[in-house]
Amino acid sequence: MLAIIGGSGLTRLSTLAVTHRQVIRTPYGEPSAALVFGDLAGHRAVFLARHGHGHTIPPHRVNYRANVWALKQQGASAILAVASVGGIRGSQPGDLVLPHQLIDYTWGRPSTFFDGDDQQVVHVDFTHPYSQRLRELCLQAAADGNIALDDGGVYGAVSGPRLETAAEIDRMDRDGATLVGMTGMPEAALARELGIDYASVCVVVNHAAGRGESHAGVSMAGIADVLESAMDSVRALIEHVVPLVPETPIEIEQHRGALRMGVETK
Ligand code: HPA
């Protein structure tokens, strides 16, 4: 079953024929909202509003662990994460981009399920942070639905909630980041830790600080306008992806290894 995590501009999924909602408690606390189950294009899917139904939870306060845990516990085999981003290079406001890599600049967020205590030490492979299989299904869905989706980008995850300085964006550009957003991490890493396929559809809602139209500053009114019009394409893309995702996980477990007494075990 595909899970969709909706970000800013996508706090509900109108194309989902809702069957039930479920409030979940996890060992990490409560998810951002009740999980919304339903049928989409004839297949079961589950939706979660990352910032809460009323969009009240800022990026640094999202309980990413509870969100990912709850989706796994409820049988999600893959997560398609929708996120709004600023474009640093190679994109324009209104574009949809499917990143293939990320750089994590976030700090202070609980970012792992393997947090010590009396567990064994676990390291997951994160060389390729997004599931290539799920990315390919997204590209196929975009082709099927005649939806423009750019293949590839480097997502720079920042803590926010403030936007960046022009110099910070210049540094991220030098690092190789082409997009900047506030929610992509630790979400992607947590999905990997639980063996859930994860990919992100990024909606470019503004030029990043100091770039293009944001030369003198980032316009919040502009962001709201772009978000609203781009979400139609996102909904259409989701409608075409859901039927392509198998019920069972696509690429599970091979990324996870435990390090015990210096010996790697799989
Ligand atoms: N920076 C960080 N996060 C964002 C931006 C941005 O410019 N636009 C949308 N989310």
Is there a domain that residue 51 lies in? yes
How many domains is the chain built from?
1
What CATH number is associated with residue 96?
A: 3.40.50.1580
For residue 206, the ligand 1 atom closest to its alpha carbon is 8
Higher pLDDT, 173 or 251: 173
pLDDT recorded at residue 251: 54
pLDDT tens across 49-88, in order? 999 988 899 999 999 999 999 999 999 999 999 999 999 9
**Cα dihedral 102, 251, 135, 90 in deg (nearest 10):** 20
Tell me which residue has its CA closest to atom 5 in ligand 1: 86
Assess whether the C-beta atom of 180 lies below 6 angstroms from ligand 1: yes
**Cα dihedral 148, 81, 104, 172 in deg (nearest 10):** 30
Assess whether the C-beta atom of 7 lies below 6 angstroms from ligand 1: no
Q: CB–CB of 84/182 below 8 Å?
A: no
Assess whether the C-beta atom of 86 lies below 6 angstroms from ligand 1: yes
Return the sign of the alpha-carbon dihedral for residues 38, 42, 44, 48.
negative
Q: What's the pLDDT band for 121 if we cut at 50, 70, 90?
A: confident
Tell me which residue has its CA closest to atom 3 in ligand 1: 181
Is there a domain that residue 266 lies in? no
Mutate to test the pocket of ligand 1, among 155, 206, 225, 226 (most ligand atoms within 8 A of CB): 206
Is there a domain that residue 64 lies in? yes
Cα 265 to middle of ligand 1, angstroms: 39
pLDDT recorded at residue 11: 84
- Distance, CA of 35 to CA of 136 (rounded, Å): 26
pLDDT recorded at residue 168: 98
Among 146, 163, 120, 130, CA closest to 260:
120
- Distance, CA of 36 to CA of 46 (rounded, Å): 5
Tell me which residue has its CA closest to atom 9 in ligand 1: 85
Strand, coil or helix: 2: strand
Is there a domain that residue 224 lies in? yes
Assess whether the C-beta atom of 184 lies below 6 angstroms from ligand 1: no
Give residues with Cβ within 8 angstroms of 169, minimum separation 6. 86, 88, 180, 208, 209, 210, 211
Cα 214 to middle of ligand 1, angstroms: 11
For residue 87, the ligand 1 atom closest to its alpha carbon is 7
Domain range for 162 is 2-261
Is there a domain that residue 150 lies in? yes
Assess whether the C-beta atom of 9 lies below 6 angstroms from ligand 1: no
Tell me which residue has its CA closest to atom 2 in ligand 1: 181
Angle between helices 220-241 and 132-145 (to 10 degrees): 90
Q: What's the pLDDT band for 261 if we cut at 50, 70, 90?
A: very low
Phi, psi of 242 (to 5 degrees): -50, -50
Q: What's the pLDDT band for 120 if we cut at 50, 70, 90?
A: confident
Is there a domain that residue 144 lies in? yes
Is there a domain that residue 96 lies in? yes
